[in-house]
Amino acid sequence: MLDEVDLQILQVLQTNSRISFSELGRSVGLSATAARNRINSLVSRGIIRKLGAELDWAKIGWPIQSILLIRTEHGKAEAVTKQLHKIPQILSITKTAGNIDLVVRFLAGGISDFTTFLHKSLSKIPGITSIDTLMVLEEVNNTPPLQFETL
Protein backbone atom coordinates (compact mmCIF):
# COMPACT_ATOMS: atom_id res chain seq x y z
CA MET A 1 0.00 0.00 0.00
CA LEU A 2 1.21 3.50 -0.77
CA ASP A 3 1.11 6.25 1.81
CA GLU A 4 1.00 10.01 1.21
CA VAL A 5 4.81 10.34 1.23
CA ASP A 6 5.17 7.56 -1.36
CA LEU A 7 2.68 9.38 -3.60
CA GLN A 8 4.58 12.65 -3.16
CA ILE A 9 7.84 10.92 -4.10
CA LEU A 10 6.24 9.41 -7.20
CA GLN A 11 4.86 12.83 -8.15
CA VAL A 12 8.32 14.42 -7.95
CA LEU A 13 10.10 11.57 -9.77
CA GLN A 14 7.71 11.75 -12.71
CA THR A 15 8.98 15.22 -13.56
CA ASN A 16 12.59 14.90 -12.40
CA SER A 17 14.04 11.41 -12.07
CA ARG A 18 17.53 12.88 -11.63
CA ILE A 19 16.72 14.74 -8.44
CA SER A 20 19.19 14.11 -5.61
CA PHE A 21 18.06 12.19 -2.55
CA SER A 22 18.65 15.27 -0.38
CA GLU A 23 16.54 17.49 -2.67
CA LEU A 24 13.82 14.86 -2.87
CA GLY A 25 13.86 14.44 0.90
CA ARG A 26 13.51 18.19 1.44
CA SER A 27 10.57 18.38 -0.96
CA VAL A 28 8.64 15.60 0.83
CA GLY A 29 9.80 16.19 4.41
CA LEU A 30 12.34 13.36 4.76
CA SER A 31 16.09 13.01 5.21
CA ALA A 32 18.16 12.02 2.18
CA THR A 33 18.63 8.53 3.63
CA ALA A 34 14.90 8.09 4.23
CA ALA A 35 14.13 9.31 0.69
CA ARG A 36 16.64 6.81 -0.75
CA ASN A 37 15.14 4.01 1.34
CA ARG A 38 11.65 4.92 0.14
CA ILE A 39 12.76 4.85 -3.51
CA ASN A 40 14.54 1.53 -2.99
CA SER A 41 11.35 0.14 -1.46
CA LEU A 42 9.24 1.41 -4.38
CA VAL A 43 11.68 -0.21 -6.82
CA SER A 44 11.85 -3.53 -4.96
CA ARG A 45 8.04 -3.66 -4.80
CA GLY A 46 7.85 -3.10 -8.57
CA ILE A 47 6.02 0.22 -8.29
CA ILE A 48 8.90 2.06 -9.94
CA ARG A 49 9.93 -0.02 -12.93
CA LYS A 50 12.67 2.27 -14.22
CA LEU A 51 14.04 5.77 -14.04
CA GLY A 52 15.40 7.27 -17.20
CA ALA A 53 15.67 10.00 -19.78
CA GLU A 54 13.10 11.06 -22.35
CA LEU A 55 14.87 11.18 -25.71
CA ASP A 56 14.19 13.25 -28.80
CA TRP A 57 14.31 10.41 -31.31
CA ALA A 58 14.53 12.67 -34.38
CA LYS A 59 17.66 14.38 -33.02
CA ILE A 60 19.46 11.05 -32.70
CA GLY A 61 18.61 9.78 -36.17
CA TRP A 62 15.13 8.25 -35.81
CA PRO A 63 12.73 10.88 -37.22
CA ILE A 64 9.98 8.47 -38.27
CA GLN A 65 7.74 7.07 -35.56
CA SER A 66 4.78 4.85 -36.31
CA ILE A 67 2.13 2.96 -34.44
CA LEU A 68 1.35 -0.50 -35.77
CA LEU A 69 -1.98 -2.14 -35.00
CA ILE A 70 -1.33 -5.86 -35.38
CA ARG A 71 -3.83 -8.69 -35.56
CA THR A 72 -2.56 -12.22 -35.04
CA GLU A 73 -3.84 -15.72 -35.63
CA HIS A 74 -5.75 -17.09 -32.65
CA GLY A 75 -3.30 -18.11 -29.94
CA LYS A 76 -0.25 -16.64 -31.72
CA ALA A 77 0.04 -13.24 -30.02
CA GLU A 78 2.68 -14.46 -27.56
CA ALA A 79 4.86 -15.99 -30.29
CA VAL A 80 4.57 -12.82 -32.37
CA THR A 81 5.46 -10.71 -29.32
CA LYS A 82 8.62 -12.78 -28.76
CA GLN A 83 9.71 -12.12 -32.35
CA LEU A 84 8.95 -8.39 -32.07
CA HIS A 85 11.10 -8.15 -28.92
CA LYS A 86 14.12 -8.99 -31.10
CA ILE A 87 13.71 -5.82 -33.19
CA PRO A 88 15.73 -2.99 -31.63
CA GLN A 89 13.75 -0.11 -33.19
CA ILE A 90 10.57 -1.14 -31.40
CA LEU A 91 9.87 1.23 -28.49
CA SER A 92 6.93 -0.61 -26.98
CA ILE A 93 4.60 -3.54 -27.45
CA THR A 94 1.19 -3.47 -25.80
CA LYS A 95 -1.16 -6.47 -25.72
CA THR A 96 -4.79 -5.41 -26.08
CA ALA A 97 -8.30 -6.84 -26.00
CA GLY A 98 -10.68 -6.35 -28.90
CA ASN A 99 -10.05 -6.70 -32.61
CA ILE A 100 -6.40 -5.55 -32.34
CA ASP A 101 -4.01 -7.92 -30.55
CA LEU A 102 -0.86 -5.80 -30.34
CA VAL A 103 -0.10 -2.08 -30.50
CA VAL A 104 3.54 -1.50 -31.43
CA ARG A 105 5.50 1.77 -31.45
CA PHE A 106 8.31 1.67 -34.00
CA LEU A 107 11.16 4.04 -34.96
CA ALA A 108 12.77 4.40 -38.39
CA GLY A 109 15.54 6.52 -39.84
CA GLY A 110 13.41 7.37 -42.87
CA ILE A 111 10.51 6.21 -45.00
CA SER A 112 12.70 3.73 -46.90
CA ASP A 113 13.83 2.17 -43.59
CA PHE A 114 10.22 1.94 -42.50
CA THR A 115 9.17 0.33 -45.79
CA THR A 116 12.03 -2.18 -45.57
CA PHE A 117 11.00 -3.02 -41.99
CA LEU A 118 7.39 -3.64 -43.04
CA HIS A 119 8.20 -5.74 -46.10
CA LYS A 120 11.34 -7.61 -45.02
CA SER A 121 11.06 -7.98 -41.25
CA LEU A 122 7.48 -7.67 -40.07
CA SER A 123 5.89 -9.58 -42.94
CA LYS A 124 8.19 -12.54 -42.23
CA ILE A 125 6.91 -13.06 -38.67
CA PRO A 126 4.57 -16.06 -38.64
CA GLY A 127 1.21 -15.55 -37.01
CA ILE A 128 0.54 -11.95 -38.11
CA THR A 129 -2.69 -11.72 -40.10
CA SER A 130 -2.88 -7.96 -40.68
CA ILE A 131 -1.19 -4.68 -39.84
CA ASP A 132 -2.65 -1.19 -39.83
CA THR A 133 -0.07 1.60 -39.76
CA LEU A 134 -0.40 5.04 -38.23
CA MET A 135 2.39 7.55 -38.82
CA VAL A 136 3.04 9.82 -35.85
CA LEU A 137 3.07 13.47 -36.90
CA GLU A 138 3.81 14.92 -33.49
CA GLU A 139 3.84 13.71 -29.89
CA VAL A 140 1.62 16.20 -28.14
CA ASN A 141 1.55 14.70 -24.66
CA ASN A 142 4.18 12.06 -23.96
CA THR A 143 3.61 10.52 -20.52
CA PRO A 144 2.55 13.58 -18.56
CA PRO A 145 2.94 13.34 -14.80
CA LEU A 146 -0.07 11.72 -13.21
CA GLN A 147 -1.64 13.93 -10.56
CA PHE A 148 -2.22 11.55 -7.63
CA GLU A 149 -4.37 13.95 -5.67
CA THR A 150 -7.03 13.78 -8.42
CA LEU A 151 -7.35 9.99 -8.23
The domain locations on the chain are 4-44, 57-135
DSSP state of 113: H
Q: Provide the strand spans (E) within 8-138.
A: 64-72, 90-95, 102-108, 128-135
Q: Which CATH class is domain 57-135?
A: alpha beta
Q: What is the pLDDT of residue 147?
A: 75
Q: What is the CATH number of domain 4-44?
A: 1.10.10
Which pLDDT tens digit goes with each residue over 35-61? 999 999 999 999 999 888 788 889 999
- The Cα 116–Cα 23 span in angstroms is 47
- DSSP per position, 34-70: HHHHHHHHHHHTTS---------GGGGT--EEEEEEE
Among the listed residues 54, 50, 49, 56, the one whose alpha carbon sits nearest the alpha carbon of residue 107: 56
Which pLDDT tens digit goes with each residue over 89-148? 999 999 999 999 999 999 999 999 999 999 999 989 999 999 999 999 988 876 667 777
Q: What is the pLDDT of residue 38?
A: 96
Q: What is the pLDDT of residue 149?
A: 65
Cβ contact 47:95 at 8 Å: no
Angle between helices 21-28 and 4-15 (to 10 degrees): 130
Contacts of 52 (CB under 8 A, 6+ apart): 17
